[in-house]
Amino acid sequence: MSTGRLIIDLDAVVANWRALDAMTDCKTGAVVKADGYGLGAANVAKALFKAGVRQFFIAVAEEAIPIRAELGPKPEISVFSGHMAGDTDLIRELGLTPMINSVEQLTHHLETLPGHPFGIQLDTGMNRLGMEMQEWAAVAELALAQKPRLVMSHLACSDEPDHPMNPYQLAQFRKMTDGIQVPRSLGATGGILLGPDYHFDLTRPGIGLYGGLPFAQAAPVIEVDLPVIQIRDVAEGEVVGYGNTWQAPRQSRIATVSGGYADGIMRILSDKATLYHGSTPCPLVGRVSMDLLTIDITDLTETPKKLSLIGPHQTIDDVAQDARTIGYEVLTQLGTRYQRKTFGK
């Protein structure tokens, strides 16, 4: 194969869910938006459903289609974007639970799908999605009379345990919801790690399921291997790649491997990333191009057939640090050209 190989370990996803679930005394759902963080929502949801997950969260209604096709009507699928114009038929046909974000969405939902399940999303300070305190106060009596499935909010800084925004949002959430007879949810992965005060009735882990921070104890879920297409000797002083940005400081061996920004290997990693042959690091030299990387393998004692970008010696968050981003982006940017090998449940 001339394309990279993406190995996905569903048993690790399940192990991470079980580890996070064990940290709480409440129900634990799972976030499978963005095609299961790029790893295949249907396969991820199937594995988690077998492990006991009965509530999944997605970003937009269309993301439910492959999950329903795989799992049928049993699990609840909640939609963070709520009830958008044009979503009514899909919400009805797939039995989705929109998380209502505004007075307008609530009105639209009650008018177009009376009696259909819904949840409520509240804004406790993130200023992204959800009803603010004044909006909620104006419609809370009406909304609660319809018996929503869940009332939730989302933490802005849960990956920073000592950030003052965490207790502030917790206090706001309690102020807006204490006393209601509806299940509540505040914590995703970071919220679970903040402790019981943030757990309420349901947690919604996302990135922690897929091996990313802030769940530092997560089992790694993916490996990315890139095949070597060609190896050449480069004399001292010769240049490599677009723009002549790297000049060999010595006689060097350069491996050209299949992978580039079309495969989610971000261009900002030019002259920064490291690939591995076994436990030996091999630096990326020159620019990341659309389809190819050039890797300095001068110090290897054998000729590699492939090099590893993500694996036992380098996590998604290690790559993210080099790219000045987060593990979420590394995962969700993985392209469609990889030969995918999925193992586990």
Domains in the chain (CATH in brackets) are: 9-210 (3.20.20.10), 222-343 (2.40.37.10)
pTM for the structure as a whole: 0.96
DSSP 271-322: TT-EEEETTEEEEB-S---SSEEEEE-TT-SS--SEEEEEBTTB-HHHHHHH
CA 49 to CA 75: how far, in whole Å?
8
pLDDT per residue as tens digits for the range 158-175: 999 999 999 999 999 999
User: Is residue 147 annotated as part of the catalytic site, yes or no?
Assistant: no
pLDDT per residue as tens digits for the range 97-156: 999 999 999 999 999 999 999 999 999 999 999 999 999 999 999 999 999 999 999 999
Q: Which of 33, 37, 261, 338 is catalytic?
A: 33
pLDDT per residue as tens digits for the range 181-208: 999 999 999 999 999 999 999 999 999 9
Q: Which of 147, 175, 242, 305 is catalytic?
A: 242
User: Is residue 338 annotated as part of the catalytic site, yes or no?
Assistant: no
Quote the pLDDT of residue 344.
86
Q: How confident is the model at residue 305 (pLDDT cuts 50, 70, 90)?
A: very high
289-308 mean pLDDT: 97
User: Any idea what DSSP says for residue 284?
Assistant: B
Q: How confident is the model at residue 65 (pLDDT cuts 50, 70, 90)?
A: very high
Q: How confident is the model at residue 29 (pLDDT cuts 50, 70, 90)?
A: very high
Tokens of 307: 């090099």
